[in-house]
Structure 1
Amino acid sequence: MTARVLERFLPDEDATTLFGEDIAVALRPGDILALKGDLGAGKTTLARSIIRALAGDAELDVPSPTFTLVQSYEARIPVHHFDLYRLADPDELEELGLFEATEEGVALVEWPERVGDRLAGAIRLELHDSGEGRLAVIAGPEEAMLRLERSFAIRDFLNNAGELRAHRAFLLGDASLRAYETVTTRLGARRILMNAPERRDEPLLECGRPYSQVAHLAQSVAASVATANAIRARGFSAYQVYAQDLETGLLLTEHLGETPFLSPEGEPVTERYVEAARLLAALHRDAWPKEMPVNDQLVHELPPYDREALGIEVSLLTDWYMPFMAGRPANDAERAGYMERWNRLFARLEHFEKNLVLRDFHSPNLIWRAEREGFDRLGLIDLQDAVCGPAAYDVASLALDARVTMPEALERAVVEAYCAARAEQGPFDREAFDEAYAICATQRNSKLLGTFVRLEQRDHKPFYIKHLPRIRAYLRRAMSHPVLDELRVFYEEAGFLSGDEA
């Protein structure tokens, strides 16, 4: 098989700096980037740009490690800059700790030829003087090359959108395939880049479809565009989409603000949660259309949050959480008894009000904009997985925020604010809402127990496990409603609710 080789032309030093940002976004712990080129070819300039991008500091002092041989920096990913020009013997490489440095970080290595083939598996980047600039030639392991190729495609997308020489910085990766970047234009405006490639190579379930399709998770960024446009059209603060490439899964959108929804100490702020509850009530004032335009040629159909989707989500508890807690998989009888109880609850849920459900309506996806007025103070993000389902679902998502401990008094304040606002709009069946809320809260938190374990065990994202005690506490609250009595007994007997409080 022919090795994958990428080439990028760098006409000047500014282009080399931006190229460093493109590489930095693509790097992952364990990567070794071997930089080759003659003296003055720009290796140190490129390494300096990568380090500054990883550190998020364009003014960071990055001296050449020619005499120290290695210089290390704390950054988004710890980065270690090696210069092997003065290395006397390849065996000294072990003493420098290069391979230990890449266990949790990345290594940038100038003059890798000094150690022969001891950097097998590295990403190899050669800089050549073309007379009119530099030509960068890159080769390396397939997985790393795919990451770099994607990053370079994002640069081309920005250029084609008119954002020439825009600066890029990694913002976050969420619990899905999506990743986000902050883009700063030449004029200093800030944008958000959504990188959401189409879902591929998912394992198939017994039904012959992957989990994401059964759960009605977005298969394309078209859903993000359609939902954001529809919400903006009704006067709420979703992001404006400035440029889109639906085929490759890239969006350039409005940056809604810098202030997180939580306090600077990471605690819930009552005023903000109550206002978000009132916003939900306003979103639910009228029904939403099942069809939402993406552009002049394409329409997105809002999927139903149906029994199949709700059911595959709660199955994560028996598939992932139960083996994690009990040390064994659920048997057929346990799975059948579990789903029988849930199906009876889903049948009840079908009779309650349905409306727009954003699914993850909680603190990570809300931006607080104190300088604005009314609902414009709340910026809405992460809209791509919206469905039509129980109106109570997003209230439960907000009032029992998975990412921060919500005291019972604050949960009640959120619920009461929503219900009061709905009652002001017209007839509102509070008894029906309370039952729907209890079922939705139980469904969501059952799903989250399984999801967080799956993220830790399958996707190697262990920081979600810390939320499990909080989610169990939320489940105990939600299941106090009489409609959950039968399911609660099942959970108690299976030990699903046992554990420390948050």
Structure 2
Amino acid sequence: MIELNYQLAKKFIDRNLSSLNLASQEYDINKLASDASFRSYYRIKFKNNLVSLMLMYAPVTHERIDHFIHVDKFLVEHNLSAPQIRAIDEENGFLLLEDFGDNTFTRVLKDNPKLELDLYKKACDVLVELHNIDDKISLESYNNHVMIREVMLFIDWYLQLTNKKISLSQIANYKKLWFELFDKISITKKVVVLRDYHADNLMLLNNKDNYKSIGLLDFQDALIGSPVYDLISLLDDIRRDIAKENRLELYNYFIAKTNYQAENFFQDCEIISLQRNVKILGIFARLVLRDKKDKYLDYIPRVKYFVECRLNSSNPIFNDIKILLNNFIN
């Protein structure tokens, strides 16, 4: 983690206070828990005011904030609850953002588990609203080559973590089998995919109603891809279990809200779930080996569980890749 230059951050905050009607207000800067990226977040709490802001710091040597700004503006313009941007310093990687508070899905559901189905239906409603936006946004396509690049993280990092060897011919076959799976994803309308759409990045906003009560975070890696990707991110949550009966109801709820044929929908979900979780095994291995973030070792068994669920599908399209992956996952 690259440490925040507090002096530089304070200068950025101070020069924007007047435009926010907070001139001369004293404040504290409190760091929040970090995630898997190089970004870090800080709550700016004003001592004589109920207002607070979020400072996002994205080290310019490792991250770019222009993509976050681009996606954020698109979401806000289309009445989805992304944080309002209050001030920008691209040169130093600073953003001042609206503070959505602390009510992540994870935190709310820990105290009120009976709210799970209602909250997750609202999260599905957000996706339906997002997918129904006709305006175009310039984003990279989440195509087969991007997905192959992602599953190669498993080869490059997870096998290194587990001391497994793989031959060049096996790697070639690995890529071939993935391309064959990706070609089976149904041709549907391509939509904005937020990519990290899960309980830690979804906020409950008590001052808003319906789908607008769901605050969105961590969408700077958005791409254009399959409508089921974010649904899979939501339901294959590595950090929290979703009740089995709720998961099935949410699948059916999403199908009813969209034009998906059920057969295509479930096959697309299985393929994208497998791809996503194999990629995550590679990402978590990289976080452990390269970034020395050993806490991600604790999540690997759960990711493997999701992979194994898909490999054990009754759908025969997974038979060949199951044989190959089983040699390296267990």
TM-score (norm. length: structure 1): 0.60
Q: Give the Å deviation of 1:287.
A: 4.0
Q: Deviations over 1:59-91 (max 9, x none)?
A: xxxxxxxxxxxxxxxxxxxxxxxxxxxxxxxxx
2:116 aligned with 1:269, yes or no? yes
Q: 1:442-457 residue pairs with structure 2 within 5 A?
A: 442-457=274-289
Measured in 1, the distance between the counterparts of 2:296 and 2:271 equals 23
Read off the aligned partner of 2:287 and give its amino acid letter.
L
Structure 2 unaligned residues grouped into runs of 5+: none
Read off the aligned partner of 2:158 and give its amino acid letter.
Y
Aligned to 1:238, which of 69, 82, 95?
Answer: 82
Aligned to 1:174, which of 35, 58, 64?
Answer: 35
Aligned to 1:314, which of 151, 155, 162?
Answer: 151
Q: 1:380-399 residue pairs with structure 2 within 5 A?
A: 380-399=216-235
Task: Check conservation: 1:352, 1:436, Cα contact below 8 A.
Answer: no
Q: Deviations over 1:381-440 (max 9, x none)?
A: 111111101111111111111211234333222222211111xxxx43332222221111
Alignment correspondent of 1:159: 14
Read off the aligned partner of 2:316 and give its amino acid letter.
P
Secondary structure in 1 aligned to 2:36? coil
Structure 1 residues 328 and 454: alpha-carbon distance in aligned structure 2, compared to 1, 3 A threshold:
same
Measured in 1, the distance between the counterparts of 2:46 and 2:206 equals 25
Alignment correspondent of 1:281: 128
2:53 aligned with 1:191, yes or no? yes
Task: Check conservation: 2:164, 2:328, Cα contact below 8 A.
Answer: no
Task: Check conservation: 1:400, 1:411, Cα contact below 8 A.
Answer: no
In terms of mean alpha carbon deviation, does 331-340 or 175-184 score higher? 331-340
2:299 aligned with 1:467, yes or no? yes
Q: Give the Å deviation of 1:355.
A: 0.5
Measured in 2, the distance between the counterparts of 1:271 and 1:171 equals 28
* Number of equivalenced pairs: 318
Measured in 1, the distance between the counterparts of 2:206 and 2:84 equals 20
Measured in 1, the distance between the counterparts of 2:61 and 2:165 equals 27
2:250 aligned with 1:414, yes or no? yes
Q: 1:70-469 residue pairs with structure 2 within 5 A?
A: 147=3, 150-162=5-17, 164=24, 165-185=26-46, 187-200=49-62, 219-262=63-106, 263-264=109-110, 269-290=116-137, 301-325=138-162, 327-349=163-185, 351-370=187-206, 372-422=208-258, 427-469=259-301
Q: Give the % identical residues.
A: 26
Task: Check conservation: 2:140, 2:223, Cα contact below 8 A.
Answer: yes
Q: Give the Å deviation of 1:370.
A: 4.2
Alignment correspondent of 2:318: 484
Structure 1 residues 161 and 382: alpha-carbon distance in aligned structure 2, compared to 1, 3 A threshold:
same
Measured in 2, the distance between the counterparts of 1:321 and 1:336 equals 17
Q: Give the Å deviation of 1:234.
A: 1.3
Q: Which has the higher helix share?
A: 2
Structure 1 residues 475 and 288: alpha-carbon distance in aligned structure 2, compared to 1, 3 A threshold:
farther
Secondary structure in 2 aligned to 1:237? coil
Measured in 2, the distance between the counterparts of 1:169 and 1:358 equals 27
Read off the aligned partner of 2:73 and give its amino acid letter.
N
Task: Check conservation: 2:78, 2:133, Cα contact below 8 A.
Answer: no
Q: Which has the higher strand share?
A: 1
Read off the aligned partner of 1:434 and give its amino acid letter.
F
Read off the aligned partner of 2:99 and give its amino acid letter.
H
Q: 1:30-109 residue pairs with structure 2 within 5 A?
A: none
Secondary structure in 1 aligned to 2:187? coil
Q: Give the Å deviation of 1:314.
A: 0.6
Bigger radius of gyration: 1
Structure 1 unaligned residues grouped into runs of 5+: 1-27, 29-145, 201-218, 291-300
Task: Check conservation: 1:314, 1:443, Cα contact below 8 A.
Answer: yes
Higher relative contact order, chain-length normalized (CA < 8 Å, sep 6+): 2
Measured in 1, the distance between the counterparts of 2:254 and 2:84 equals 27
Measured in 2, the distance between the counterparts of 1:488 and 1:407 equals 26
In terms of mean alpha carbon deviation, does 219-228 or 188-197 score higher? 219-228
Q: Give the Å deviation of 1:449.
A: 1.0
